[in-house]
């Protein structure tokens, strides 16, 4: 898989997701099979499990966006923007 993970627990649960970039503690932590997601910041897109082509920039941005799976094509900008 062509993923990039920098930070403790970044992309921790990834099993088959491809083309993801996670930078920051817990960034894309729950992602298992989502593709082409980009998360910059601690806890960014933390709960997204299967969503694809999401972008989050900022600590906590999109942290709880995975409450209704899958979440696709979403953008989250700013600190703790969780919807």
* Tens digits of residue pLDDT in 5-24: 999 999 999 999 999 999 99
Lowest mean pLDDT across 16-25, 31-40, 55-64, 66-75: 66-75
Neighbours of 10 (CB within 10 A): 25
CA count, 13 A, side-chain hemisphere, 18: 2
CA 16/CA 36 separation, integer angstroms: 12
């Amino acid at each position: 898989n062509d993923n990039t993970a920098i930070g403790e627990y970044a992309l921790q649960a990834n099993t088959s997701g491809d083309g993801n970039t996670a930078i920051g503690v817990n960034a894309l932590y729950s992602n298992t099979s989502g593709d082409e997601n980009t998360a910059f910041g601690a806890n960014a897109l933390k709960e997204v499990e299967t969503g694809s082509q999401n972008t989050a920039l900022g600590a906590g941005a999109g942290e709880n966006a995975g409450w209704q799976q899958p979440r696709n094509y979403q953008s989250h900008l700013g600190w703790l923007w969780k919807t």
